[in-house]
Structure 1
């Protein structure tokens, strides 16, 4: 079966009709299992079962099925991210335990051709088939987020290759298709030029490629070779510009064997665009963009380390800039505020930000062993299948969450005894770059007027981050979809008064200089940071319930911390 190939786009699509997956850095492959025998084909139809033997052996454990899966063979490098160079090294070995088949589609199962089924249904069946087994065959989960840019920007910050976006209702079609799109991440930085390769026989002289370095403290190490991006004029100009800097030996701290290189003093930097960094520190696909006189050495941004014990479905959920308190500090904080915090957090399904083995992430997927004081609620997930949400109702439960690495708690706007109906309406006022806090305060007061005219009693919550939440308890519980639609209408009605200063789209490119009226906190399974929850930020601020007088006098969102928690609100 010829694979379905995504069309390259500059930006991912938006909307509820699309889902988004990680773009894995590896070899596209198709896994066939018939009569207990597995065959792995390359994207061009070659039989690569021998090369991918550990995957074939793992597939043969599914002996009860006849199937065809579509996916990507990859290896997770030292950073915990998919790494193509690491994959090539593993393939050079006779057999590698590090090869994984990341399965993202199911084309055939037990006599049924599934290609005409909607993608979301094929993925549901695939997930049920593979489960959370891990090992050499893993299910590729997806993000059901309407703003494709939000997923893309996060993927790029994490050092991933990009995202693949797919229409949920699409059948599987071979060849290049618009129903699947891919958006590749690119980065841009300046690196010291350490050598050049000259174009043989060229008159006047010109370069063919540049060797680049990067600084690790006082050490200069090899960063890769930029072979493309040169116009004829640039190739000549760079050659002459580097001529006075030629030296007789490599300037690297640990010399490498490059027989065609002409070494130079690393005093000039090349600005390059690149797609990522391999696990051994080499730039992927560097493209020359111009020369830059260096003021200071530019270091390659390091991808966030990911422990192999952190579930791989959390790759897109990582928080690379997080700063977290110790478990002892968290336990002391919860002991101090539990009676107040449980009024807001108790008896509600929770989404967690966890810190495990040096990595902080929004938790998704399989859970670690759960202390008995923490309750588990089995729910039907929006995308199908069954999931588990944790909840607590006492201090022992809060301390149990600390035990499994939970730092932030994000509760549903619903209780565990009726998860299908919301009891709270939430608006998040999230200021973009250039928005003064005074404008956030002014907006909060104006939005309160609108909501009170709708019959709500509003109370404000400082988020411990950048903004403020307006919390409106619902007089009667409502279905999540109805609350979402109602919040969207109110937000858009309010934003229409001043479209130059307000935005209701989560797309990051729309938000500089504007205040984002985030109504997306409303919906089944969507959450907002919980009242009294610590934040994984410097100083360990907490989300705090405050009075309208506090808002009017300009109290900032990080006014309270785990060492200086908010006082009890009257009546709560």
Structure 2
């Protein structure tokens, strides 16, 4: 077993030699995919992968051994990173600023694999304008009792909703049971506005598919429906990027698909072993993603309409500071109404 190998990687600055230590270490035990196999996968899909995920702050989901072992997230460049690894200063929900990794070329993504990365989580904003997303992202998450086939009609209807708001929507498999619907937007608004645009679209989708879709944050209220996870639109909340592997036994990939093929695809067929051939045969369904960025003003007008009709803010992630207008952060079945005021603030009761 070799202790290391060098992978010759083509890029904008010419060929770089990227060291892969322990290349024969198995990362995905079920299909026997090794660390070197994973590096070669990223090299094979580098062009569409970087088009989707490059030039963005990115978090790396890293594993010390196999996907069944210890894992952790890495955001800033570690000591000893190659000179071609870039970072950018970003602001987190706590208001702290910190440098975050940015991938600019194939060698940087393969270096991330060398560091144990399996899943790549890009921000919805560009590195030089990280406070203003240029992607609107909606995560369709099937709840227990539902599956991928239930997410498909929700995604198709969501596409129609976004089209009414003047947006071109793109879709990809999550790599698991769900779907991710993205739309390119102009980077004119900060994260809270984009979150509100997502909530407006989610509520409109829920109105049209009340028996199939839910925006209920608390699991006990969701039922057997597809949850529209609006909190993925928050600052420092990310999902697996396009063409990113997922840490699942069959080495699935979060794979862009066309709307025409959506109803017939099997998400389990998109893996580290199959996606390079798919791209070679059918190309990248997201190749024109950035051509028509849209305004979110229509969605924000829907948000304002819903506010005027009594639909307010929705819960934020639990690690966020308490946000203006946010409802109580307590499980509905455990809420005692007398302990909360009309603004969702807890009242101290003697």
- For residues 30 and 180 of structure 2, the distance between their equivalents in structure 1, rounded to whole angstroms, comes to 21
In structure 2, do the counterparts of structure 1 residues 322 and 411 end up closer, same or farther at CA, with 3 Å as the change threshold?
A: farther
- Give the corresponding residue for 1:456: 167
Residue 470 of structure 1, CA deviation: 0.9
Q: In structure 2, do the counterparts of structure 1 residues 323 and 382 end up closer, same or farther at CA, with 3 Å as the change threshold?
A: farther
Equivalent-residue separation in structure 2 for 1:353 and 1:507 (angstroms): 26
SS at match of 1:417: helix
Aligned pairs for 1:275-424 within 5 A: 325-357=33-65, 359-363=69-73, 368-369=78-79, 370-424=81-135
After superposition, give the CA deviation of every residue in 1:386-427 in whole Å (9 maximum; x if it has no partner). 322111111110111112111100100001010010101111
* Separation in structure 2 between the aligned mates of residue 471 and residue 362 of structure 1, nearest angstrom: 26
The answer on 1:559 being equivalent to 2:269 is yes
Partners of 2:88 and 2:128 within 8 A in 1: no
The residue aligned with 1:527 is 238
- How do 1:149-298 residues align onto structure 2 when only pairs under 5 Å count? none
The CA distance in 2 between the partners of 1:327 and 1:475, in whole Å, is 38
Shift of 1:512: 4.5
Query: Do 2:62 and 2:73's aligned partners in 1 also have CA atoms closer than 8 Å?
Result: yes
Q: What is the alpha-carbon distance in structure 2 between the residues aligned to residue 503 and residue 332 of structure 1?
A: 40
* Counterpart position of 1:510: 221
**Corresponding residue for 1:428?**
139
- How far residue 352 of structure 1 moved from its aligned partner, in angstroms, is 1.6
Question: Contact (CA 8 Å) 2:77, 2:100: kept in 1 or not?
Answer: no
Counterpart-to-counterpart distance in 2, 1:467 and 1:547: 15
The one-character-per-residue Cα deviations of 1:299-354 (angstroms, maximum 9, x if unpaired) are: xxxxxxxxxxxxxxxxxxxxxx9999532121110111101211101101112211
Residue matched to 2:284: 569
Please name the residue that 1:298 is paired with: none
Corresponding position of 2:295: none
Number of residue pairs the alignment of both structures matches = 251
* Cα drift, residue 546 of structure 1: 0.8
| Residues 87 and 102, structure 2, Cα contact 8 Å, conserved in 1 | yes
What is the DSSP-based 3-state SS (H/G/I as helix, E as strand, rest coil) of the residue aligned with 2:231?
coil
Q: Cα 1:391–1:561, aligned 2, differ >3 Å: closer, same or farther? A: same
Give the alignment's Cα RMSD to 1 decimal.
2.4
- Greater C-alpha radius of gyration: 1
User: Looking at both structures, which has the greater relative contact order when contacts are Cα pairs under 8 Å and sequence separation is at least 6?
Assistant: 2
Q: What is the rounded CA distance, in whole Å, between the counterparts of 1:399 and 1:513 in structure 2? A: 40
Asked if 2 retains the 8 angstrom alpha-carbon contact of 1:379 and 1:387, the reply is yes
SS of residue paired to 1:496: helix
Q: Is the 8 A contact 1:464 1:559 kept in 2?
A: no
TM-score calculated relative to the size of structure 2: 0.66
Offset, 1:436: 4.3
Tell me, yes or no, if the aligned pair for 2:154 and 2:213 is still in contact at 8 Å.
Answer: no
The TM-score with structure 1 as length reference comes to: 0.41
